[in-house]
Structure 1
Amino acid sequence: MTALEFGYKIENLTSSLKPYALKLTKDGEDANDLLQETVFKAYNNRDKFQDGTNLKAWMYTIMRNTFITNYQRMVRRNTFIDTTDNNHFLNSSSSIIENGAKGNFVMNDINAAIEGLKDMYKIPFTMYFRGFKYHEIANKLDIPIGTVKNRIHIARKELKKGLKVYAN
């Protein structure tokens, strides 16, 4: 196919490509830009087009890939990465006094709730809380791993029920 024939066929396809460009961009000006870029790329790569294949499908593919590339480029360009240190102090003063009384009350209540659990639930729960894995707890207590999981689950449920005062 000669360059003139190729150009004529592309010119006839632009009217059917325009609605697809509008669908992708949702803006008339952007659609015109996308269509122009698609036609430009098709002319530049006409040596890659094989006679006998569907030119319309080839053009749609060029348009879709161009849109995706432009979109990704726009997203990268609009991504803002803050490289500054986060040294923002709002309402800061030279001395800060913090009252730890509430934290002490909460910790006392949590410890009391844990101590209130039956040993069959408390022991696996505290081991898990200290960092033991399920299989390590099962081996240490000589019980099945499913039982360990169940007992930890029940302990959590009991603690949640006992400490519901602190739920938001």
Structure 2
Amino acid sequence: MTTLEFSYSLTKLSPSLKPFALKLTRDMDDANDLLQDTMVKAFTNKDKFTDGTNLKAWLYTIMKNTFITNYQRMVRRGTFVDTTENLHFINSGSTIIENGVYGDFAMNDITKAINRLDEVYKSPFLMHYRGFKYHEIAIKLNIPIGTVKNRIHIARKLLKDDLKVYTTIN
């Protein structure tokens, strides 16, 4: 096959490869880039194509392999490799000193806010917090399940309003 015939065949098959590229990348711009990379690789490696074989299948294989290579490259770029000899230092606290007082302040404020809730809201909320299911709370408190859900929702809303100072901290 001459270079001109090969180029014509690539141009003719290009539209049929686009849906496959879009399926792989799930993005139109990335699909166009992948299609272009595939066509460039196919044209530069035209001497490896054997006449009489399925050109479309060959192009699909190039596209799939190009996508996998690009994906692996992207994953490797985001991977941190620790080359230190003492791996136990990775999670050691010697480099970061935390002051637990902020957590203590927050926990004290949360406890006070919960204690300020009316008992009708506090009991179902604390039971739910401790792991009880809605239907278990309803049976234990002898109230309808809808009331349980409503009271827990109101308790959360009241706590959120009372503790809004903690929602603005980054």
TM-score bracket relative to the smaller structure = 0.5 to 0.7
* TM-score after normalising by structure 2: 0.61
Contact in 2 for aligned 1:138/1:145 (Cα 8 Å) = yes
Which residue in the other structure is 1:155 paired with?
Answer: 155
CA contact (8 A) 1:38 1:66 kept: no
Bigger-Rg structure (1/2)? 1
Paired residue for 2:137?
137
Q: Root-mean-square deviation (CA), in Å?
A: 3.8
Q: Equivalent residue for 1:56?
A: none
Distance 2:74 2:124 in 1: 50
Q: Is 1:34 aligned to residue 42 of structure 2?
A: yes
Deviation string, structure 1 residues 26-65 (Cα, Å, up to 9, x no partner): 767x633224557845x3773xx6xxxxxxxxx4454234
* Alignment correspondent of 2:63: 67
Runs of 4+ off more than 6 Å: none
**Structure 2 portions without partners, runs of 5+:** 18-31
CA distance in 2, matches of 1:97, 1:166: 18
Structure 1 residues not aligned, in runs of 5+: 1-6, 50-58
Q: How many residues align?
A: 144
In structure 1, C-alpha distance between the alignment counterparts of 2:95 and 2:48, rounded to whole Å: 59
Q: Deviations over 1:72-91 (max 9, x none)?
A: 13322553354644734697
State the Cα distance separating 1:130 from its structure 2 match. Answer: 1.1
Question: Alpha-carbon deviation of 1:141?
Answer: 1.8
Q: Quick one: percent identity of the two aligned structures? A: 35
